[in-house]
Structure 1
Amino acid sequence: MGKLTVFHVRAAKNGRHCDGDGLYLMVNGNRARSWVLRIQHQGRRRDIGLGSVDLGRRRQDDPVHAVEILRRKVLTLAEARDKAAILRRLTLAGLDPVAERDREVRRIPTFVQAVDLAHAELSRGWTAKHAADFKSTMLSYAIPTLGSHSVDIIDHAMIRATLAPVWTDKPSTAKKVFTRINQVLAYCHATGLRTQDVPQKQVVRRGLARQSQSQHHPAVPFRQVPLFMHDLLGGTESSGRLALAFAALTASRSGEVRQATWDQIDLDTKIWSKPAHIMKSRRASSIPLSEAALVILRRAAVLRGKSHVVFPGRSGALLNNGALRNSMLAQGWGHATVHGLRSSFRDWAAEEMPAIPAMVAELILSHSVLSQTERAYLRSDLTAMRRTLMEAWAAFIMPQPEKPASGASAPCSGPLTIDR
């Protein structure tokens, strides 16, 4: 038990005041107070400065409690005893107490600095678009409120205040902001720049209003998809319309279809191999191509010119982001979205093809439906079952071609050859 009390610390006059076990309160001529630890290390007596005296009262929620004791420079009597005890144990273990004390003294970055540090490291595994979007989100929504704060004191209350302006009006944005704030804080925790773990979403939510139910992508009801395809393919031929039809037939995302190239198409096996870099999950996938999808490819080959892109824009490069959406709008189907066609396919598979396991449709949609252990044991990609489902889907949604006159050939018939 130490000799000093809080009252003695407040009232102490100039000089050195012993608390015991080598801990001293130093009061100089200006009544400035500081803590010093006298210790024996390698046969030499050393006086080690611990920090200045804190005469105030600490609240339970004071952010200083999150700071490691060896890093604190302003100490109460109890904290000075704790810091002294740690340094004494380190000395007994054969370590240099000054070196160990100073090892903990690291310059903790502000949040805006931490964003740059995390972005520089984490973006090496991201696409350029995701890296730019990450930085934009932080600049717009997080840095204005958190930017000047040290990362080791950012807590649930600070994050709640950051999310509150967009929490109910832009729930999807709020979710993205929270996720990316925690990515920065998790990076700081892993690199020793923050001692606390990342704030938990369920705790932050308790201080915020209830969000409205999330809105799904508006979809064409699956029974109306045949009419949609009739309208789409009955108009003037264009890369945008053919790409949209191909997206519907393969239940693929817009970005995957726009980035499809002829070297991804295997005509012998009738497989479209999607490389990882065009996939949302960043995992390579494949789609069995129905006969109707191959017809769309034949029609696209006529328009391709010399482009290696399956559905090129006017310059031969990729279609722009809104090309497929614009094709929907042009046909009067603007109430639905391109992404919603995937939902149309999923609803059809559930209602009209109950004999085929739900996992097959999920694999076509490139959804992760199995645990890591299950994936390790399931070595098959169920190609045959997926092909059966894709052929049935194509037969359901595609307009039936008119029977050609005697001696005439059907449009876009015959083998598809690709000049690579």
Structure 2
Amino acid sequence: MPLTDTQIRNLKPKDKPYKVSDFQGLYVTIAPSGSRLWHMKYRIDGREKRLSFGAYPAISLAQARKLRDDARARLAAGEDPGEVKKEEKRQKLLVQESIFAKLAEAYKSKAEKEGRADATKIKTEWLLGMAIDAFGNKPIAEVTSPMVLACLRMVEAKGNHETAKRLRAKIGAVFRYAIASGVVEHDPTFALRDALIRPKVKSRSAITDPKEFGGLLRSIDRFQGQVTTRIALRLLAILAQRPGELRQATWAEFDLEKAIWLIPAERMKMRMPHSVPLPAQALGLLKDLKRITGNGVFLFPSLRSMLRPMSENTLNGALRRLGYDGDEMTAHGFRATFSTLANESGLWNPDAIERALAHVDGNKIRRIYARGEFWEERVRLADWWAGYLDEVEAGSPN
């Protein structure tokens, strides 16, 4: 006899679960806890199987009968309703796992395992955060070129053309990760290559006149701020490495006896380890610095915490305090100064200068054979450059 809502509500729990039937295979199971669960019993290919519909009263009697009727219709069509339900659940999970935000997180996790630099990870987080805000809750297969372009246009409208370009590249990287994972087949950012305003290429400002550069070196020696900041500026001038590589340097990377600084691959822009010869002038500065920060991890710790390196704004800020604005000189500009004056000297192999700057040859085969070359010349180059700086600072460059 068919059940009624009153009967179901009045069913009392027992020590063991028990069933009360409705009709056409539908029944409710009453658990010892008092919960009431809908099930349907059916047979397919001679085997008895069971289908679950959920709990009463969340699933009413009328809804349970509707679900039973749908399952019986599938049986009549030769389908197994239990397998259909499993497949629908699997597809739903696939959709949930394929939303852009989840794939972006997976891409970031992959990049982290590959040992990307902290600065790169922070920038990636920031860029993809804008994309996630725009369409992160959508399945990646539903993210179209117009959707991506709308996100990019919002960035572009603020005049941030370089950021828009980089954001397009990061979104494309997530799509390529998804393509490799078999989640999607196309990258909608490919069609947007020519849709954005091209950012104007602006070289980092640098002083390349020896007399003017000598004036800068004298200003650095008179710097009234933190001693560690003054030493960092001097080391930037002598070693010509990227500001981020210097300010994040750890004492463990330096062998002062062998006069070498070995920067590990994970901290290098091109993900390759880089060795830097240390001339006598650099060694003198490092020994002075070791008396100040040698008990910590970083050469240039933050003023707020010895566990963090100096802020990325510190060195440019120091140059501004010395009276050099962003159109005259930047922390990164010391590299351009070195490259320009070392090349103009005509004393050194241009490839040795490029290797000193950790610039990677675009020719992979040539790079493999050149990896160990130029070291001895680079040691002589480093000594010459440090001596040349002493001369320009004194006002008498050769």
Give the shorter-chain TM-score range. Answer: 0.5 to 0.7
Equivalent residue, structure 2, for 1:34: none
CA distance in 1, matches of 2:364, 2:335: 25
Does 1:135 find its partner at 2:125? yes
Matches within 5 A, 1:18-417: 107-108=94-95, 109-125=98-114, 126-140=116-130, 142-167=131-156, 169-197=159-187, 199-200=189-190, 203-208=191-196, 210-223=197-210, 224-236=212-224, 238-304=227-293, 306-314=295-303, 316-317=306-307, 318-335=309-326, 336-352=329-345, 354-398=346-390
CA distance in 1, matches of 2:336, 2:135: 38
3-state SS in 1 of match to 2:324: coil
What is the CA distance between 1:163 and its match in structure 2?
A: 1.4
Larger proportion of helix: 2
Question: Which residue type is aligned with residue 180 of structure 1?
Answer: K
Q: Extract unaligned runs of 5+ from structure 1.
A: 1-43, 45-97, 403-420
What is the CA distance between 1:316 and its match in structure 2?
A: 4.7
3-state SS in 2 of match to 1:199: helix
CA distance in 1, matches of 2:321, 2:382: 26
Question: Which residue type is aligned with residue 332 of structure 1?
Answer: G
3-state SS in 2 of match to 1:273: strand
Q: Percent sequence identity over matched residues?
A: 24
3-state SS in 2 of match to 1:346: helix
1:291/1:391 contact within 8 Å kept: yes
CA distance in 2, matches of 1:302, 1:145: 50
What is the CA distance between 1:190 and its match in structure 2?
A: 0.7
Q: CA RMSD in A?
A: 3.1
Most deviating of 335-344 and 115-124: 115-124
What is the CA distance between 1:397 and its match in structure 2?
A: 2.0
2:262/2:273 contact within 8 Å kept: yes
2:300/2:310 contact within 8 Å kept: yes
CA distance in 2, matches of 1:135, 1:312: 24
Most deviating of 231-240 and 175-184: 231-240
3-state SS in 1 of match to 2:368: helix
Could you report, residue by residue, the CA deviation over 1:56-88 in whole angstroms, capped at 9, with x for unpaired residues?
A: xxxxxxxxxxxxxxxxxxxxxxxxxxxxxxxxx
2:302/2:311 contact within 8 Å kept: yes
Question: Which residue type is aligned with residue 202 of structure 2?
Answer: Q
CA distance in 2, matches of 1:166, 1:250: 37
TM-score, structure 2 normalization: 0.66
**Cα distance change, pair 149–232 in 1 and its aligned pair in 2 (3 A):** same
Question: Which residue type is aligned with residue 351 of structure 1?
Answer: E
Could you report, residue by residue, the CA deviation over 1:96-148 in whole angstroms, capped at 9, with x for unpaired residues?
A: xx9xx99x9683423233323333444322345533432332222x2333334
Aligned residues: 299
Question: Which residue type is aligned with residue 182 of structure 1?
Answer: G
TM-score, structure 1 normalization: 0.63
Q: Extract unaligned runs of 5+ from structure 2.
A: 1-44, 46-83
Most deviating of 144-153 and 182-191: 144-153
3-state SS in 2 of match to 1:158: helix
